[in-house]
Amino acid sequence: MKLEVKGTAFSGIGKGKYYVGLPEYQKRFEAALGYKPYPGTLNLKIQDKATVHRLAELRSSVGTRVPGFTLDGEQFSSLVCFDGRLRDERVALLFIDITHYNETVAELISPAYLREKFGIKDGDEVSFQAWDVLG
């Protein structure tokens, strides 16, 4: 399954930077995706209900699972990643088992700092493609 997604960039609460930057997640992302992502997520608000529905379908398909872990007594969530592209940059769409966001938010990671590389600001419309491992 391949999916074209459009959303509006917005700043989150900074949790993506913290979590993605954790050495244990960095190690797990590198093992699952083949790269260590920039510490942070690009958050996109999805307005189109049909796209939100298609994202839910993608979530139920075959992705790359990153297992959760416990560190110093704190439980860190597992998640499923789907490969994708934002312009010429490799990205991964994350579906996090425990998150502050609902199904209308797409969170992307990449080896690059996407906001800086593409000059993305809050309110900008951003398009990306995502696909499952069969796509």
CA gap 62, 59 in Å, rounded: 8
Q: Taking the domains of the chain in order of start, what are their residue ranges? A: 2-131
pTM over 0.85: yes
Query: pLDDT above 70 covers what percent of the chain?
Result: 99
Tokens in use for 128?
A: 């990306």
DSSP of 74-113: EEE--EEEEEEEETTEEEEEEEESS-SS-TTEEEEE-SS-
- Give the model's pLDDT for residue 37: 97
Tokens in use for 3?
A: 């999916």
CA gap 44, 33 in Å, rounded: 21
CA gap 94, 64 in Å, rounded: 10
Q: What's the pLDDT tens digit per position in 41-87?
A: 999 999 999 999 999 999 988 899 999 999 999 999 999 999 999 99
* pLDDT range class, residue 111, cuts 50, 70, 90: very high
Give the CATH number of domain 2-131: 2.40.30.30
Q: 10 by DSSP, 3-state: which?
A: strand
Nearest to 89 by CA among 63, 115, 55: 115
